[in-house]
Amino acid sequence: MNKQELENYTRTLVRFLEDSEEKNPVVMGDILYQLHRYEVTLTRISVAYCERYLSQAEEKKNESIIKKVEKIAAELGLKVRFNSDPRGYAIRFVLPSGRYNQFDGETWALNW
């Protein structure tokens, strides 16, 4: 992780600790790491869908990840939005504080 990625990760960790029901930084760090992995996979699937039809395995994986992220968001007390356009971040959260880091002016994405 380079310096910019570390700064983005730290900023996201702080925002999520402030806005979610989870207040333990170690637990939240683990959750953000898992969410980032889901983000990368969903983006990869979105790119593949632009090039060809998805296989059944890819469609299943996509649905599975969406359900997992929705569950995590519910446990954290956050709203989540998904973006299937590969030009943007696949997972975006609506934070109770109203903070955002996306051009839509409403959502916070995991951008590291």
Distance of alpha carbon 100 from alpha carbon 87, whole angstroms: 18
Its domain, for residue 54, covers 3-109
Q: In this structure, what DSSP letter does residue 86 have?
A: T
Which residues are within 8 A (CB) of 61 and not within 5 positions of it... i.e. 6 or more apart?
41, 45
Q: What is the pTM of this model?
A: 0.88
The three-state secondary structure class of 79 is strand
Could you read off the pLDDT of 93-102 as tens digits, one per residue? 999 999 898 8
> Is pLDDT of 52 > 80?
yes
Q: Which two tokens stand for residue 44?
A: 């990869």
Distance of alpha carbon 54 from alpha carbon 62, whole angstroms: 10
Average pLDDT over residues 36-64: 96
Element containing residue 16 per DSSP (H, E)? helix 3-19
Distance of alpha carbon 93 from alpha carbon 100, whole angstroms: 9
- What's the total number of domains in the chain? 1
> Is pLDDT of 112 > 90?
no
